[in-house]
Amino acid sequence: MRIKPVKIDTYRENVLFLRKDSELCRAQGFAALEKVEVTCGDKTLVGVLDVVDEHFLGHGEIGLCEYAFKRFGMPAGTEVEVRHPEPVRSVELIRRKIHGEVLKAEDYRYIIRDIVESRYSKVELTAFVVACAQGSMERDEILYLCQAMVEQGEQLAWGREMVVDKHCIGGVPGNRTTLIVVPIVAAYGLAIPKTSSRAITSPAGTADTMEVLTNVNLTLPQMQEIVERESGCLAWGGAFSLSPADDIIIAVERPLNIDAPGQMIASILSKKKAAGATHVLIDIPVGPTAKVPTYDRAVQLRKLFEYVGERMGMTLEIMLTDGTQPIGRGVGPALEARDVLQVLRNDPAAPKDLMEKGLDLAGRVIEFHPAVKGGYGRSLAQEILQSGRAYDKLMRIVKAQGEHAPVEPGRLVKEALAAKAGRVTRIENLKIAKCAKLAGAPVDAGAGIDLLRKVGDEVKAGEPLYRIHAEEEADLGYAWDYWQRHPEMVTIE
């Protein structure tokens, strides 16, 4: 048969198309959802079959979706053999994991290799993710998963003995400390070549916020050059193939909104290892509406991080931080960038909680350096911030990466008012995040929520609690409706 590209974006799944009336479907019993193998010489591709009618394909043609066509790498019209593939061996391992078995290092290696080679269907991939999320993974299994993920991707090298990094497990809106930590640490002189993600389920990822100010799509040589000169940079990690299995796994975790400890730890540490980090600070916010609700759970998580991190050959520091409410005021890329710049400019209007947390984290990262006495990192960080060197450093990095006019907060605004007088006692992270997303964040970088009152603040009846920013009237309406239906987002007592 001859291959034909079919311009459908299947999100990292190899989908192949055969005509309903084709010989293969009629006589050989190929049916929708089955696996099909396409071969040409030593090139092989396994995908899931969709059956189509005659409008899509000519006789003797097999369609390959965009992703599959690119992976196969042969021109349209190439003659191929089509057959039922040997079953993917590692699917048997997933079945064993479902039945509660503890898998071995080589088992995870097989599974991750098959994931990276796109041999799994969405069904198989989901089965793996759920089986690992539900049955507790042994801590050695987390390690094996992490190692396999690193092995199956690129690894960055920086030619430095110490490369530091920081990572927050997420769940707290507005928590954009990375843009404060990176310039402070880089100004101190430690190498911090930061790769960050875009938002997955949140209203802004670090890469989204940095993109408000500058280009974040860097090549490896560009990053290397900038780090050489400035010690730090802040690029979008998706441009590199660090732990590619993780990117594929996230595609099914996202719609399920699950983020099990084992996979989370393997995901974070594999990305850090692949990015060449030697010393990593992990920030675990704890709070009733954060990812980790109690300190007991946070300590469990800390131990898992420590166990796996040490065996991956990295030095880890874990900080349990306050995750009871959003950090800073802005929630959404442009609003968060504004908060960050206020902090770095030592603006008296800067949100104090964001500044304090930024300094705490930066201080701990600086203390990775053997020359710094325990407990002295924070004052070094503070000195760098107050002297304006941190601001200068961020501006130099912004310029080096490709500065552009910053995105401004969305011009459509509507204020949520306090229904009564009192003190703010509770702000729910998840609902603030949801509301900011409905306003358009992160797709519209200017959209989001600007919190005008935080927990502990007094408010009079009718005074604004927060301001919704949007780019589109419809989005402003969605966010407003959500607030109307969820007044418990902000509790006044």
Angstrom distance (rounded) from CA 49 to CA 62: 10
Q: Output phi, psi for 287, to 5 deg.
A: 180, 160
Q: How far is the CB of 157 from a copy of itself (least distance, A)?
A: 33
**127 belongs to the binding site for a copy of itself (CB under 8 A):** yes
x-marked contacts with a copy of itself along 35-54 as a string, rule CB under 8 A: x--------------xxxx-
Site for a copy of itself in 427-446 (CB under 8 A): 443
DSSP 373-412: PTT-HHHHHHHHHHTTHHHHHHHHHHHHHHB-PPPPPPSE
**14 belongs to the binding site for a copy of itself (CB under 8 A):** no
CB 211 within 8 A of CB 404: no
Beta strands in 212-328 (DSSP E): 232-236, 279-286, 315-322
- Quick one: 99 or 373, whose CB is closer to a copy of itself? 99
CB 439 within 8 A of CB 468: yes
Residue 111 region by backbone torsions, left for phi larger than 0, else alpha for psi between -120 and 50, else beta: alpha
475 is known as an active-site residue: no
**17 belongs to the binding site for a copy of itself (CB under 8 A):** yes
For residue 103, the number of C-alpha atoms closer than 13 Å in the C-beta half-sphere is: 30
Q: Report the residue from 74, 156, 251, 430 that binds a copy of itself according to the rule CB under 8 A.
A: 251
Angstrom distance (rounded) from CA 246 to CA 406: 31
In degrees, rounded to 5, the angle at the alpha carbon of residue 117 between the alpha carbons of residues 22 and 260 is: 115
**217 belongs to the binding site for a copy of itself (CB under 8 A):** no
**95 belongs to the binding site for a copy of itself (CB under 8 A):** yes
**130 belongs to the binding site for a copy of itself (CB under 8 A):** yes
- Quick one: 191 or 304, whose CB is closer to a copy of itself? 304
β-pairing, 2-6 vs 43-52, is: unpaired
Angstrom distance (rounded) from CA 14 to CA 192: 36
CB 215 within 8 A of CB 404: yes
- Quick one: 158 or 478, whose CB is closer to a copy of itself? 478
Indicate which residue of 114, 165, 246, 259 is catalytic.
259
Site for a copy of itself in 257-316 (CB under 8 A): 257-258, 260
Q: For residue 221, is the peptide bond before it cis, meaning its omega torsion is within 30 degrees of 0? A: no
- Quick one: 8 or 299, whose CB is closer to a copy of itself? 8
Amino acid at 235: A
Q: How far is the CB of 475 from a copy of itself (least distance, A)?
A: 8
Contacts of 256 (CB under 8 A, 6+ apart): 126, 129, 130
Q: How far is the CB of 85 from a copy of itself (least distance, A)?
A: 12
Q: How far is the CB of 106 from a copy of itself (least distance, A)?
A: 21
- Quick one: 50 or 165, whose CB is closer to a copy of itself? 50
**124 belongs to the binding site for a copy of itself (CB under 8 A):** yes
x-marked contacts with a copy of itself along 177-216 as a string, rule CB under 8 A: ----------------------------------------
**121 belongs to the binding site for a copy of itself (CB under 8 A):** yes
Q: Which is nearest to 78 in space by CA: 11, 172, 1, 188?
A: 1
**11 belongs to the binding site for a copy of itself (CB under 8 A):** yes
Residues binding a copy of itself (CB under 8 A):
7-11, 17, 20, 27-29, 31-35, 50-53, 55-56, 91, 94-95, 98-100, 121-124, 126-127, 129-131, 133-135, 251-252, 255-258, 260, 443, 472
Question: Which residues are tagged catalytic?
Answer: 259
